[in-house]
Amino acid sequence: MKKFSVLFFCVLPLFSFTQDRSFGQLYSAHLLEKGSLELEFWHTSRFGHEGQLYHGIDQRFKVEAGLGKRIQTALYFNRFQNTFSDPVNEVIHTSQIGFSNEWKVGLTKPESSFRMAAYAEFSLRGNVVELETKFIADKRWNKNLLACNLSCRMDEVMHREYGETHLETEGNNPGARSWFHAPVWILCGLRYGTAE
């Protein structure tokens, strides 16, 4: 039975196909066709911090739809949960629910071997508002794929003080009060012999 399980999980990826995930965190410019619908469920568990109880769960359910020849959108329903111990070993549970809305617009013809797309995702969870934008370019030849993403993200934390709501920039880009100050990330990836 153990040999069958190992063989099953080694052979299964050879027959699987996902529309937009040739890479883990890198997007290609491929778009769903008009009327196409894709559903995905993601679950990530995190365990252990040294000297501390810790367990985190991130879950996302995605409904993605092709709206036209060069446009697609997706809605994500997100759930984040953490269980951890504090310095006096009391167990603390936190939970947040949120949603994200993602749009991807093709800037070139879908059948081109060199494609470009613009991407934007707005997220809201608890008191955090996030906006992420990307410029996506990819080149396909034979069954190979080279993809590059130019990405910029801003996270804002909402809080109330003296009856007014304020936004503050969070963690990874302190002091970024506008897109001109937010960090820009460039990710590139090359995949041989497996691109559709």
Q: Tens digits of per-residue pLDDT, 50-106? A: 778 889 999 999 999 999 989 999 999 999 999 988 878 788 898 989 999 999 999
Q: Tell whether 8 is covered by a domain.
A: no
Q: Tell whether 30 is covered by a domain.
A: yes
Place of tokens 């008191």: 127
Torsion of CA 152, 158, 161, 166, to 10 degrees: 40
Q: Tell whether 59 is covered by a domain.
A: yes
Number of domains in the chain: 1
Token pair, residue 168, equals 């503050």
Q: Tell whether 5 is covered by a domain.
A: no
> What range does the domain containing 127 cover?
26-191
The tens digit of pLDDT for each residue in 127-180 reads 888 889 999 999 988 888 888 999 888 877 766 666 666 556 554 444 444 444
Token pair, residue 63, equals 């409904």
Q: Is the pTM of this model over 0.75?
A: no
What's the burial of 26, exposed, middle or buried (CB within 10 Å: 0-12/13-18/19+)?
A: buried
What's the burial of 19, exposed, middle or buried (CB within 10 Å: 0-12/13-18/19+)?
A: middle
Q: Tell whether 18 is covered by a domain.
A: no
Q: Tell whether 133 is covered by a domain.
A: yes
CB atoms closer than 10 angstroms to residue 154: 21
Cα(121)–Cα(99) distance, integer angstroms: 10
Q: Tell whether 153 is covered by a domain.
A: yes
Q: Tell whether 7 is covered by a domain.
A: no
